[in-house]
Amino acid sequence: MKGSTNSKVYTMNTNKKQSIFLGITASLLFSITFILNRSMSQQGGSWIWSSALRFYWMLPFFLAIVYLRGGLKKLFTEMGRNLFQWLIWSTVGFGLFYGPLTFAAAYTASWLLASTWQFTIIAGIILAPFINRNVAWVHHNQSLSALFSGIILLGIIIMQINHAQSLSSSHIIKGILPVLIAAFAYPLGNRKMMQLTNGRLEVHQRILGMIICSLPFWLVLTVYEMLTNQSYPQNGQYLQTFIVAIFSGVLATILFFSATDLVRSDEKQLAAVEATQSTEVLFALVGEMLLLGSPIPDIYGIIGIVLVMLGMVLHSFKG
């Protein structure tokens, strides 16, 4: 009995470490999205095409992956049981997450998008009592996670003090509000789909199912764009959305969903995994310094980075 308990504890600790590592790696790949979306918007590309093309590119990749793993039949059977729920939460988790994110890229810089996006850390904690049926358990265990996530957000806010002073009200509405919507939609859609499938599907199957069930949303948007605005993808959008689809849509999404699946029954550890997304800001900052020759952060930036890393360490070891 004692050996069984020790084995269970070891497995939980291993899953915890793996989930944090996978989350941080996913964040590195996710950070590419902010830079390329900003690049496409500056080149005159429509945010609708920047959004939809990513998921159109992702579809054949995940179809091939799930087919080769022999999981298509099981996926379609699972989807058929609760098709309406699949359509709703896939649209929330993918459509209302990525659409607003690319829309905002036309109105604000990539660093601000990455920073504002970190509100998803707190959003997951706010949503937990409404998603998890064991409300008393959630309230008992989420206080430390909220504290650690608050430290991360404080660091991000301090990091951007100088930049935020130059923002107009228009940029705040169009560049920040959509990102806040996305910050709630992503953990909401992901967690509801984890509840709906309850471990019966692999990560690849769940992602493919969500891509398929979010297609009506993307098709409506693209038809609207073609008929109303008579807009079609810029040449550069095909390549850049392909890069985003591979690194962020396929690799990063698999890694992040795998991380959340490992700890899907532990609300505190789920918050810790979601908190790894805060490292996107650091990766974007380092990337800009190396690739674009951006200057070393000022004192606010350094303090902010220290707080972000402190919050990450606390989440990792105490989550």
- What is the C-alpha separation between 319 and 317, in angstroms, rounded? 6
> What pLDDT, on the 0 to 100 scale, is given for residue 173?
78
From 314, 78, 97, select the one nearest 191 (Cα to Cα).
97
**What CA–CA distances, in Å, run from 257 to 12, 88, 99, 139, 269?**
17, 18, 19, 24, 13
> What pLDDT, on the 0 to 100 scale, is given for residue 47?
93
The total number of residues shown for the chain amounts to 319
94 DSSP assignment:
I
> What pLDDT, on the 0 to 100 scale, is given for residue 49?
95
> What pLDDT, on the 0 to 100 scale, is given for residue 11?
58
| Domain layout of the chain by residue ranges | 17-318
Residue 12, both tokens: 């939980």
Which residue ranges in the chain fall short of pLDDT 50? 135, 137-138, 140
- What is the C-alpha separation between 114 and 128, in angstroms, rounded? 23
Residue 191, both tokens: 């967690």
Contact by Cβ (8 Å): 51, 98: yes
| Angle (deg, nearest 10), helices 2-42 and 267-275 | 30
